[in-house]
Amino acid sequence: MIIGVPKEIKNNENRVALTPAGAKELVKRGHTVYVQHTAGEGSGFPDEEYENAGAKILQTIEATYEIAEMIMKVKEPIESEYKLIRENQLLFTYFHFASYEPLTKAMVENKSVCLAYETVEKADRSLPLLIPMSEVAGRMAVQKGANYLEKPLKGRGILLGGVPGVLPAKVLILGGGIVGTQAAWMAAGLGADVTIMDVSLPRMRYLDDVMPANVNTMMSNEYNIREMIKSADLIVGAVLIPGAKAPHLITRDMLKDMKPGTVLVDVAVDQGGCIETCKPTTHENPTFIIDDVVHYCVANMPGAVPYTSTLALTNATLPYAIQLAEKGWKQACNDNAELKLGLNVIQGEIVYKAVADAFDMPYAMVEKYLAD
């Protein structure tokens, strides 16, 4: 198969969909990989590394779209890319269709085949191509929180781990899923006094088993949250209710009960946030202050660490990309139920129900396309 890797052109996106190591794996199997000039630069991979891995460099985005049977990307195509996409061309990337109608309509109109990272799903309902970014964001949440707790950045001026004779900081994590667990590991490793709140007892039993002694679990409810925020120094929002907006577990009126200089990192901001006063911010301007409480609410945290994020993402996507390249999308999706769930739009029809429902558009069963 001919695979094309364009350079990401969305504002501040430095990740790339394929590493030189990934290109080598595909080339080794007899596929041809074209990478747009400087596509890997933002993640620290120069053109020469791709060439050494057997890929070919193309100078323009137009040439990359023109030649490829499968386009591998990170972010959804933006408007200037819509016209470059051809009928029947396979696009393997994040789309998040349900949040943007013009993108959905454009992909229906150009009759491409859209396989979305975010809806590839395992039998246990986990989302293998979203997990790596949650892992990055969870670990980063504590790194950022520790930083903003410093006095010059308007925090309480407390060191997460304390020092001998001085108590460590208290870290409260709302939601003990992927983000919350990774945040807890980082905070615990730095010596903080960590509490994870969740509503799932099985999840808390698991966390209680695997976490070190400076991590405790507690049932998430309004009473407990109101109590815990009084003494917390850093609060990480990491709640997810699949398919729904995050619940506001911390409401505006609760800020007055927090210590001045408390830092809130709401990782769930991309789903509306679990802290009422959070609104999305950017890496250029990541924080704002309300009632002496520092709010960090960057919606694309992994974007700040493109090297780690690119490697984490491509570790997860490459096995699927290999299947698509070896078998073509129809056979690969027939053989692999996880990949099949990634199909969102096929040759002018929406085949993922939630996307069709989001915009009241027609929906076709995916089997219609996989049967032959």
Ligand X SMILES: NC(=O)c1ccc[n+]([C@@H]2O[C@H](COP(=O)([O-])OP(=O)(O)OC[C@H]3O[C@@H](n4cnc5c(N)ncnc54)[C@H](O)[C@@H]3O)[C@@H](O)[C@H]2O)c1
d(Cα 63, Cα 4) in Å, to the nearest integer? 9
Consecutive H or E run containing 350: strand 349-350
C-alpha dist (Å) from residue 157 to 149, 234, 236: 6, 11, 18
From the candidates 37, 47, 96, 257, give the one annotated as an active-site residue: 96
Active site annotation includes 270? yes
Least Cβ distance, residue 198 to ligand X (angstroms): 4
CA dist 66 and 72 (Å) reads: 13
> CA 286, CA 242: separation in Å to the nearest integer?
26
- Write down the least CB distance from residue 269 to ligand X, Å: 5
Nearer to ligand X by Cβ, of 307 and 363: the residue is 307
Contacts of residue 262, Cβ cutoff 8 Å, sequence gap at least 6: 156, 229, 232, 233, 234, 235, 292, 293, 294
- Give the CA count within 13 Å in the CB-facing half-sphere of 336: 22
State how far the Cα of 86 lies from the Cα of 123, in Å rounded to an integer: 32
Residues that bind ligand X (CB under 6 A): 133-134, 137, 174-180, 197-200, 203, 220, 238-241, 246-247, 249, 267-271, 299-302
Name which of 197, 289, 287, 283 is nearest 236 in CA terms: 197
Residue 350 carries which side chain, given as an amino acid letter? Answer: I
In angstroms, what is the minimal distance from the CB of 138 to ligand X? Answer: 7
Sequence-distant (6+) residues with CB within 8 A of 99 are: none
Catalytic site includes residue 96: yes
**Residue 20 bridge partners (DSSP):** none
- Active-site hit among 193, 233, 266, 270: 270
Distance of alpha carbon 97 from alpha carbon 242, whole angstroms: 15
Q: Give me the residue whose beta carbon is nearest to ligand X.
A: 177
Minimum Å distance from CB 367 to ligand X? 28
Q: Shortest gap between Cβ of 123 and ligand X (angstroms)?
A: 16
CA distance 183 to 181: 5
CB of 301 to ligand X, least distance (A): 3
Residues 6 or more apart whose CB falls under 8 angstroms from that of 344 comprise: 95, 97, 107, 114, 115, 116, 119, 350, 351, 352, 355
Q: Which amino acids are annotated catalytic?
A: 96, 270
